[in-house]
Amino acid sequence: MATIKALLLLAVMAISAAMVTPAHDNYVKKKMGSEKYTHLRLYVHLAFSGVNATTVKVVQGPTNKSLGFGDMLVADNPITEDIDLSSKLIGREQGFTVGVSRDPDFSKTIFLLTINLAFTEGEHNGSTITLSGRDTIFNVERELPVLGGTGAFRLARGYSFWTIVSLNFTGNTTIEGDIHVFHY
């Protein structure tokens, strides 16, 4: 009992000492600038087949489904300003996704997607936005949280909606992204 009391006292003393320790010269307290809001609408193009496929299954899970539990896909997809692949290229969508639901109902297949949007053009050139979350791949509209970012999108948080514009497993699939980002 006495030992516990002594330990508690020591802990309190340590905390008090930390509180009165003067700030070091290299410790500068700064106020953050004001938070900004950016809304982006962009298009991601997935090519599932061919020698230049941009979204590829790298691990086949234990099911025999085309997309299922344990499957892992890696992506390096072009992002364009407009719906056509031939419109202005503004960056790459790079990341991976893994099947995480055992539900035998194929339409309920869930993936865990972690992806970076890396911008290579315009005012966001060099900046990135990181998204990660539960991907209900067969829903017409999907929502994914924005977890962070770099450059212009430092300390980003937000939300995003993803809609399939056209789906073609032997050709190209186009997805529209509607991204709402709060950042500094």
Site residues (CB under 6 A) for ligand NAG? Answer: 45, 47, 50-52, 54, 63-64, 78, 85, 120-121, 125-126, 168, 170-172
Q: Report the distance separating Cα 170 and Cα 26, nearest Å.
A: 57
Residue 65 or 157 with smaller CB distance to ligand NAG: 65
Residue 54 or 136 with smaller CB distance to ligand NAG: 54
Both tokens of 107, joined, read 């339409």
Quote the least distance from Cβ 102 to ligand NAG, whole Å: 12
Quote the least distance from Cβ 115 to ligand NAG, whole Å: 16
Residue 78 or 133 with smaller CB distance to ligand NAG: 78
Quote the least distance from Cβ 108 to ligand NAG, whole Å: 18
Residue 89 or 147 with smaller CB distance to ligand NAG: 89
Quote the least distance from Cβ 128 to ligand NAG, whole Å: 12
Q: How far is CA 113 from the centre of its chain?
A: 7
Quote the least distance from Cβ 122 to ligand NAG, whole Å: 7
Residue 35 or 82 with smaller CB distance to ligand NAG: 82
- Tokens 């496929």 belong to residue: 53
Apex 173 CA angle, 167 and 179, nearest 5: 105
Q: Report the distance separating Cα 93 and Cα 105, nearest Å.
A: 29
Q: Report the distance separating Cα 92 and Cα 89, nearest Å.
A: 8
Residue closest to ligand NAG, measured at CB: 171
125: how many CB neighbours lie within 10 A of its CB?
A: 13
Q: Report the distance separating Cα 125 and Cα 4, nearest Å.
A: 57
